[in-house]
Structure 1
Amino acid sequence: MPTPIQQPSQLFTAMATALRNSSELNVQVGNHDDFTTPGDKAWVLIDIERNASGERAATGRIAHVLTLSLQVIPALSATAFAACDLIAALKNLVTDNRWGLPGDQCDLPMNIDGLPSLAIRADQPNKAWTLTFNQTLYLGPTLLDDPLGTPKFARTWEVSDIDDPDQYTSLEA
């Protein structure tokens, strides 16, 4: 069973590991701080662009809807369409991928979109493509678990604030 995740940065790490280990891609992976200039291999730069609210998980964990981008900068010797082709391969990898994270804490990617872009570094623009998508993480403790291990519940029509654990009551056996 995968290790429970506590922070959004764990998604970044899991994605970077999966991309580096993909035998189909053969790319360098990092963030914008890691990239200096195109080289012999294409680069995939991962960025978390947004952390929005979402609906809580059924267990009560707080939803973090992350907007992620994978920017592809082709190798120096690559053809004009290399970045577009790599985006297609990334799209195939991203679709239905939870990056080895627990399924109850990491939804499948949604709203996957690839667009041409520019990577500008040291006044040198590089032709690139960017794949963006949303992926929801559910972080924090579940509202069903309290320190005594007694499952709790609340009915929305009986409480003033469904997000307040103090308004939950113990399940009857």
Structure 2
Amino acid sequence: MPAPIQQPSQLFTAMAATLRNSAGLNLQVGSHDDFTAPGAQAWALIDFDRNAPGARAADGRIAHVMSVSLQVIPAVSASAFAACDLIAVLKNLITDNRWGLPGDQCDLPMNIDGLPSVLIRADQPYKAWTLTFTQTLYLGPTLLDDPLGTPKFARTWEVSDIDDPDQYTALEA
């Protein structure tokens, strides 16, 4: 079982590792800060555009709806449509991919969309394509467990202070 996710940056790390290790892609993967100029390999630049709220998970974890963009800059020797073709391959890879993260903390990607774009570095424009999608992460502790790991409950009409954990009762099996 994969290790629990603690921070949104773990999505970046998991995506980068998956893209680097995908057979046949021949990609350099990083953030916009890692890119200097096109080279012999295509680049895939991962960026988080937004961390929006979402509905809590069934276990009570807080939802982080991550808007992700994956900008692809083709290799220098590539054809004009190389980035578009690579986006199609990446779209197939992204669909149904949780990047090796736990399924109860990482939903499948949604709203996958690819479109032409331009990357400008040091006044130099590079033709690129951008693949965008949202992926929901569920972070933090579950609401089903207290620090001892025993699920507890309290009825507001039976306790004097709903915020006092000593007034909660263990759930019966």
Q: Is the pair's TM-score, using the shorter chain for normalization, greater than 0.5?
A: yes
Mark the CA change 1:88 to 1:172 in structure 2 (over 3 Å): closer, same or farther: same
Count of matched residue pairs: 167
Partner residue, 2:106: 106
For the pair 1:148 / 2:142, whether they are aligned, the reply is no
Whole-angstrom CA distance in 2 between matches of 1:93 and 1:138? 22
Q: Percent identity?
A: 81
Whole-angstrom CA distance in 2 between matches of 1:168 and 1:114? 50
Q: Secondary structure at the match of 2:117?
A: strand
- Counterpart residue type for residue 95 of structure 1: T
Whole-angstrom CA distance in 1 between matches of 2:5 and 2:11? 8
If you compute each CA radius of gyration, which structure gives the higher value, 1 or 2?
A: 2
TM-fit CA distance, 1:152: 3.2
Can you give the 5+ residue segments of structure 2 that lack an aligned partner in the other structure? Answer: 158-162
1:23-172 matches, within 5 Å, as 23-152=23-152, 170-172=170-172
Can you give the 5+ residue segments of structure 1 that lack an aligned partner in the other structure? Answer: 159-163
Whole-angstrom CA distance in 2 between matches of 1:66 and 1:126? 26
Mark the CA change 1:154 to 1:95 in structure 2 (over 3 Å): closer, same or farther: farther
Q: Secondary structure at the match of 1:67?
A: strand
TM-fit CA distance, 1:171: 1.7
TM-fit CA distance, 1:165: 9.7
TM-fit CA distance, 1:149: 1.8
Whole-angstrom CA distance in 2 between matches of 1:165 and 1:19? 47
Q: Secondary structure at the match of 2:143?
A: coil
TM-score where L is the length of structure 2:
0.91
TM-fit CA distance, 1:168: 7.2
Deviations 1:130-152 (A, max 9, x none): 00000000000000010122113
Whole-angstrom CA distance in 2 between matches of 1:101 and 1:95? 15
Mark the CA change 1:130 to 1:168 in structure 2 (over 3 Å): closer, same or farther: farther
Quote the RMSD (CA, aligned, Å).
Answer: 2.0
TM-fit CA distance, 1:172: 2.5
